[in-house]
Every structure is written in C-alpha cells, then in structure tokens.
C-alpha cells in the first residue's frame, strides 16, 4: 500500500520560550522536524505533507531543504490535532493509500515501528502507536476491549479509572487516507480543551463497527520535545544511542561520552575517534582513519587511511583523499586534498585543490578572499609549500614546484620552479655585539638617572 506522511508541526511550543518554531530546534545538528521526516522517509512515501502554523515560512524552508517534494500546508489557527490533519486533505485528494500521522516534535520513532503499523493496517481500519508509560502523566489513555482499541481518552477528560491506565497514546496514527478524513469530519470539540481531537476518530470508528488496534513500542521512541530541558534530554538520548550503534559497527570511540554525532554522521569500521570530537551535519569518514582529539568536522569527507587532528577543523566542502594528514590547528574549507598530501601545522586552506603527496608547510595560508569575492588556489602534485607562505588567490602552483618560506605568492608558479618573494637577507659583521653594547649603556644611564 502506498503511504502518505502527515507531519504535524503547527504548534507554537510555548514552553521552548523561543522565537524559533519548536520543530526547528535541533537535536544532533538536525531540526526535530527532519528526524520525524527521515523516519517516515524510510517507508518511501508517495506524499509527505507537513502541517505548519507558527513560523510557517521557516518550517516550509526546513521541510523542503530535507525533501524538495514535501508539501507544506498551513494551519492558521491551532484548533487541535484533528483540525491539523484536516489541513492535509486537499494535498491528498484522490490518494487511497495509508495516511500516517507523525508529530514534528517527536524525533525518535523508529522506521521499523512504522513498518509494523503499516503491516497491522492490512487487517485493521485504524492503527495507533501506543506505549507503556513509566509515568503516564498527561498522555491520552488507550481504552482497550480485549485486543481491540475501543477509544482514546485525553487526560483532561478522563475519569479516575481511565487515568489509572498506563497504556498511552504516542500520537502516531495510521489509517486508510479516505477513511481518516471521513472520520475527522465527524470529530467535534465538545471536550475539556474545546479542541478537535484526532484521538476521537477511534471511538467514532468503533461506533461504526470498524476495527482499531494498537502497535506498541518502547517509551524512548515516543519522547516528545516541549521544553529546552526536553531538548537536552533528547540530545543525550540520541547521542548515547548513536555512539552505541557506531561501536557495534566497529568504530572505536575512546571516550564515547565526549564524542558528539549528527543525525547523518557516517563513520566506517576500524576508524578510531579520540576524545572530544564534534561531528556536525553531513560528515562521512571511511574505514581505517583516525580522528584525533578536539577536532571539529562538518560537511566533509575523510577517506581511508586519513589522520585528522588533534585540534583540526574540517569545514563544508573539505574532501580528503586517501592517506591525507591534517594536523593541529589546521582549517580546511571547500578544498580537495589529494592522496597522501600533508597539511600538518597551523594552516588555512580554503577554496583550493592540493595535489597528491604535496607538503604544505606550517603556517601556510590561502588568501582566498579579497574583501568582495572568493578565489581559488590550485597546488599541483608533489609540490612543497614553504612555511608561512601566503598564496594570494587566484593562483596556481605547478606540479613539483617549491615556494620559499615566508613568501607572498601573487602570480602563478611553473611546474618544478622555485618561487621566492621576500626581502633579501643582509648580514652586518659584528653588528649584533655593537648593538648589545649600545643598548646596555643606554639602560645603565637610565637607571643612574632615576
Ligand atoms: C496529543 C494527543 C495525546 C497523546 C500526546 C502524545 C490529541 C488530542 N492528543 O496530546 O493523546 O498522548 O499527543 O504526545 O491528539 N498540533 C498542530 N496543530 C494543532 C494542535 C497540535 O499542529 O492544532 C501539533 C503540535 O504542534 C504537536 C502535536 O500536534 O506537534 C501534538 O499536539 P499537542 O497539543 O502537543 O498534543 P498533546 O496535548 O500533547
Ligand atoms: Ca505534546
């Protein structure tokens, strides 16, 4: 059966106390919304509809950045979860597959759980994702009748007996799309919150003799984010799970609790990650590399055999081929570093290509920005860039060329040439001794005078 995702993301998130819409706060370097969209995307949905409200323009931008085919519809007034889902109706006109409702503020629902719901829908009209809550608090309670789900009662409307139920509603619901919208049409707002509750569709379906059932998952999957404290808890939960998965996949984390991963971090087997390393979004690290302590990586690729850090910074567009070495206090941005090249100390390489086995001396800087535009530096294979060379881009250094230490290179250097641009050295015999004598005499005179 085809799937359509309906992701609810209109809420303000008052308790975040933020100008940013709640679903755009980040866990593991990705907006909460993206986590929910990514979980749903594993079902290869035909439609993805995001219901936005507060900060709709920003939510739209984030949704389409992740999935350019996502449709974003607006719910201008937040009248309840059923009303929110109803906004997706025009976008799903004529669609007759499964509609799956997810919350944009609930990032950890696993794709396998959603698959189970999809399977259950083959035999039922409505499938709700439930969980046994350690503390049921204010969750909606699932009222069962044997194996069948009879209705969901919201905490505010529940009797003491119903509040004693520990099987709770996660909010995730699967239903045949047309039936979902038919049921929603019948939902009213005569309840404690005066909201249109999506949860009311269960009782309505039951009354029509339709079957509803529950698929259960671990409580950890249903964790929602409503406050900054929840956000921190979600981050911690994500990180501990992601670290454990990496170690299972054969990656050594010397001090796992000090390594921070992004939602999409990929690290190959037999790579060693030393303590205090941060991975931002969009990083791939191949097998058999070493990421040394205190390095920061984002938007980059490290190939097999690479050694990065300690204290290295790889920024977006840094692409390291096999056996590249990037040492301490080196920043690489939008640059391709070919096989076996070394940039070991105190350098900035930005908007550049560096040829295979070239050696970039300490303190080398690609001067890529003229204050208005960015320019490219090309360094050939087997080049030797002397320490403290300033490469004023645009500039090309040929294969096997050399630059003298301290040079400011403003024009291209032919292959195998040596380029020097620095004041010639002058030497004055005995002058240092004379200078010392003069200076010492001056100091003695000053001390007598005071
Ligand atoms: C909802 C469920 C409850 C469940 C709980 C799980 C209903 C009536 N209740 O309660 O059974 O245990 O989630 O967390 O569905 N939203 C909109 N537009 C609206 C209202 C909500 O987009 O008009 C979005 C919110 O931004 C949020 C989600 O839907 O992402 C859930 O809404 P919320 O008001 O937090 O529902 P709960 O009261 O938590
Ligand atoms: Ca909530």
- Which spans in 279-341 are helix H? none
> By the 8 A CB rule, do 352 and 377 touch?
yes
Beta bridge partners of 9: 52
Average pLDDT value over all residues in the chain? 97
Ligand 1: residues within 6 Å at CB?
8-11, 51, 53, 75, 78-81, 83-84, 103-105, 139-140, 152, 154, 168-171, 197-199, 224
Q: Does residue 193 share a domain with residue 305?
A: no
Rg (CA), the chain: 31
Domain count of the fold of the chain: 2
Q: Does residue 237 share a domain with residue 179?
A: no
Domain end, chosen from 150, 181, 199, is at 199
Please give the number of the atom of ligand 1 that sits closest to the Cα of 170: 6
Domain end, chosen from 184, 199, 214, is at 199
**Pairing state between β 307-308 and 290-291:** parallel
Span 325-349, average pLDDT: 98
In a domain, 304, yes or no: yes
Note if 25 is an active site residue: no
Q: Does residue 242 share a domain with residue 367?
A: yes
412 confidence band (pLDDT: 50, 70, 90):
very high
Q: What is the pLDDT of residues 413-444, one digit of tens each?
A: 999 999 999 999 999 999 999 999 999 999 99
pLDDT for res 153: 98
- Going by C-alpha positions, the residue among 194, 169, 174, 199 that lies closest to residue 184 is 199
Name the token pair of 219. Answer: 């409580």
Q: What is the pLDDT of residues 134-144, one digit of tens each?
A: 999 999 999 99
pLDDT for res 169: 98
In a domain, 319, yes or no: yes
As a whole number of angstroms, the distance between CA 101 and CA 85 comes to 8
Span 54-62, average pLDDT: 97
pLDDT for res 440: 98
Q: What is the pLDDT of residues 202-240, one digit of tens each?
A: 999 999 999 999 999 999 999 999 999 999 999 999 999
Q: Does residue 263 share a domain with residue 190?
A: no
In a domain, 207, yes or no: no
Q: What is the CATH number of the domain that holds 10?
A: 3.90.550.10
- Going by C-alpha positions, the residue among 347, 380, 383, 343 that lies closest to residue 366 is 347
Name the token pair of 182. Answer: 């038919």
pLDDT for res 198: 98
Q: What is the CATH number of the domain that holds 390?
A: 2.160.10.10
Beta bridge partners of 175: 99, 126
Q: Does residue 321 share a domain with residue 179?
A: no
pLDDT for res 1: 87
Q: How far is the CA of 198 from the centre of ligand 2 (A)?
A: 13
Span 111-132, average pLDDT: 98
pLDDT for res 12: 87
Q: Does residue 301 share a domain with residue 176?
A: no
In a domain, 209, yes or no: no
Assess whether pLDDT exceeds 80 at residue 69: yes
Q: Show contacts of 261-269: CB within 8 Å, 24+ apart.
A: 261/28, 262/28, 262/29, 262/30, 262/298, 263/27, 263/28, 263/29, 263/30, 263/34, 263/35, 263/38, 263/238, 264/30, 268/304
Please give the number of the atom of ligand 1 that sits closest to the Cα of 197: 8
Beta bridge partners of 413: 397
pLDDT for res 449: 86
Assess whether pLDDT exceeds 80 at residue 450: no
Q: DSSP code of 275? A: S
Packing angle, helices 111-120 and 32-41, rounded to 10: 50
Q: Does residue 400 share a domain with residue 252?
A: yes
Q: How far is the CA of 108 from the centre of ligand 1 (A)?
A: 16
Span 392-418, average pLDDT: 98
345 confidence band (pLDDT: 50, 70, 90):
very high
Q: Does residue 376 share a domain with residue 295?
A: yes
Span 58-75, average pLDDT: 98
DSSP string for 111-146: HHHHHHHHHHTTT-SEEEEEEE-SS-TTPPEEEEET
Assess whether pLDDT exceeds 90 at residue 167: yes
Q: Does residue 119 share a domain with residue 239?
A: no
As a whole number of angstroms, the distance between CA 224 and CA 215 comes to 18
Name which residue sits closest to atom 1 of ligand 1, judged by CA. Answer: 171
In a domain, 215, yes or no: no
Name which residue sits closest to atom 8 of ligand 1, judged by CA. Answer: 197
Assess whether pLDDT exceeds 90 at residue 304: yes
Kindly name the residue from 83, 301, 345, 375 that is annotated as catalytic. 345
- Kindly state the percentage of the chain with pLDDT values over 70: 100
Q: Does residue 177 share a domain with residue 277?
A: no
What is the domain range of residue 396?
228-419
Q: Does residue 183 share a domain with residue 259?
A: no
Name which residue sits closest to atom 3 of ligand 1, judged by CA. Answer: 140
Q: Does residue 346 share a domain with residue 263?
A: yes
């Amino acid at each position: 059966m085809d799937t359509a995702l309906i992701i609810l993301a209109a809420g303000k998130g008052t308790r975040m106390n933020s100008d940013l819409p709640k679903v755009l706060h980040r866990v593991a370097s990705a907006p909460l919304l993206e986590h929910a969209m990514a979980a749903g995307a594993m079902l290869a949905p035909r439609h993805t509809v995001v219901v936005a409200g507060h900060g709709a323009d920003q939510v739209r931008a984030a949704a389409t950045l992740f999935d350019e085919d996502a449709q974003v519809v607006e719910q201008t007034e937040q009248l309840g979860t059923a009303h929110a889902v109803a906004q997706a109706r025009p976008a799903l006109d004529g669609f007759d597959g499964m509609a799956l409702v997810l919350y944009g503020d609930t990032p950890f629902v696993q794709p396998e759980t959603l698959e189970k719901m999809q399977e259950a829908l083959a035999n039922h009209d409505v499938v709700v994702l439930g969980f046994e809550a350690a503390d049921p608090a204010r969750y909606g309670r699932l009222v069962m009748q044997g194996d069948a789900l009879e209705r969901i009662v919201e905490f505010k409307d529940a009797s003491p007996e119903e509040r004693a139920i520990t099987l709770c509603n996660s909010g995730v619901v699967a239903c045949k799309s047309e039936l979902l919208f038919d049921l929603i049409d019948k939902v009213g707002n005569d309840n404690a919150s005066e909201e249109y509750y999506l949860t009311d569709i269960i009782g309505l379906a039951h009354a029509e003799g339709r079957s509803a059932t529950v698929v259960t998952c671990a409580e950890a999957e249903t964790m929602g984010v409503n406050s900054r404290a929840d956000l921190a808890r979600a981050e911690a939960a994500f990180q501990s799970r992601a670290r454990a998965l990496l170690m299972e996949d054969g990656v050594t984390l010397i001090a796992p609790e000090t390594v921070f991963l992004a939602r999409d971090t990929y690290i190959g087997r037999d790579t060693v990650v030393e303590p205090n390393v941060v991975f931002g979004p969009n990083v791939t690290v191949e097998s058999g590399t070493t990421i040394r302590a205190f390095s920061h990586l984002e938007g980059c690729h490290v190939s097999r055999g690479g050694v990065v850090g300690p204290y290295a910074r790889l920024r977006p567009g840094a692409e390291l081929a096999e056996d590249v070495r990037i040492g301490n206090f080196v920043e690489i941005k939008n640059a391709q570093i070919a096989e076996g090249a070394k940039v070991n100390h105190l350098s900035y390489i930005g908007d550049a290509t560096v040829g295979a086995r070239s050696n970039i001396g300490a303190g080398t800087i690609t001067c890529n920005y003229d204050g208005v535009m960015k320019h490219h530096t090309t360094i050939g294979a087997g080049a030797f860039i002397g320490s403290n060379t300033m490469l004023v881009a645009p500039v090309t250094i040929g294969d096997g060329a050399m630059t003298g230490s301290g040079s400011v290179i403003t024009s291209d250097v032919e292959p195998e040439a040596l380029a020097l641009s620095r004041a010639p050295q002058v030497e004055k015999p005995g002058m240092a001794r004379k200078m010392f004598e003069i200076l010492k005499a001056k100091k003695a005179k000053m001390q007598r005078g005071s």
